[in-house]
Amino acid sequence: MELNSKIFVAGHRGLVGSAILRALEEKGYTNLVYRTRAELDLLSRDRVLSFFEEEGIEYVFLAAAKVGGIVANNEYPADFIRDNILIQTNVIDAAYRNNVKKLLFLGSTCIYPKFAPQPMKEEYLLTGVLEPTNEPYAIAKIAGITMCQSYNRQYGTKYISVMPTNMYGPNDNFDLKTSHVLPALIRKFHEAKINQSPEVEVWGTGTPRREFLHSDDLADACLFLMNTYEENEIVNIGVGEDISIKELAYLIKDVVGYEGEVVFNTSAPDGTPRKLVDVTKINGLGWKATIPLEDGIKAVYETFQNEYLVRQ
């Protein structure tokens, strides 16, 4: 990408998209295009096609998606598979029809089988059954990967797919009904601290292990791959280390400064036992994550207090 290339960041207000936009601006890219949902409904094929025809987009970061944690995935499975398939189909096809030079599709590590060997290598895709709690979302993402690969094969496009591990960072979703575990725990412990609650309940046994990548690290990786990678195979993006949910809960408890008890609701679902990605490929290409988890959580908690709570 040249610094004056016309670049569309789809989903620029979300956790991932906003980080990509920040990274592009910081690196001096000047011709950035983005639209709010009110300005451009990505669920509408006609509107997306018209947008691409009018704007002359050269590069696309496809970060727009309907996302959520276990609760949201359980309650709205039809919404997750429908909306995500529509968004990615409309954007990928419009990119092809309007001669976009390159597109980067953001997938998710939930595409891997529930009991995939750990750490998860890129070649484990489609080798086993998925985690039932987020299967509709995972299938939509797998469809997006296959669509990019198929367009590359049939039309000679340059569409790459990256699989980030569990994300956190500024502009995260702190809604307890729809958020992922890390921002949900930040909010739970903060509210318990303010309300002087004697205990905080954490879903599950605390034994599942998760890997957490700061969105600024992900954005840096996405720009790196957009500028250097052109193969058809997917690329994992992660830190290569994981932590148990119990360890995470106590880490966030310390960062927030909550002094009560932590209680694990063992009747609640745990989800996938472990999710750690193999980062051999991206490390071999020349990129590594740099933000330590505790430092990242401290920064996100600051943002939560200074920005999220102020908006409420």
Pick out the residues of the known binding site for NADP(+).
11-17, 106-109, 141, 180
For residue 39, give both structure tokens: 């300005």
The two structure tokens encoding residue 203 = 């879903």
Tokens of 8: 């569309």
At 130 the three-state DSSP class reads coil
Q: Is 308 a catalytic residue?
A: no
Catalytic residue among 34, 96, 137, 229: 137
Inter-residue contact 273 to 205 (CB < 8 Å): no
Could you list the residues known to form a binding site, using ranges: 11-17, 106-109, 141, 180, 188, 203, 210, 270
Angle at 224 between CA 218 and CA 228, to 5 degrees: 145
Helix (H) or strand (E) holding 208, with range, is: none
**Signed CA dihedral, 135, 141, 145, 150: sign only:** positive
Catalytic (active-site) positions: 137
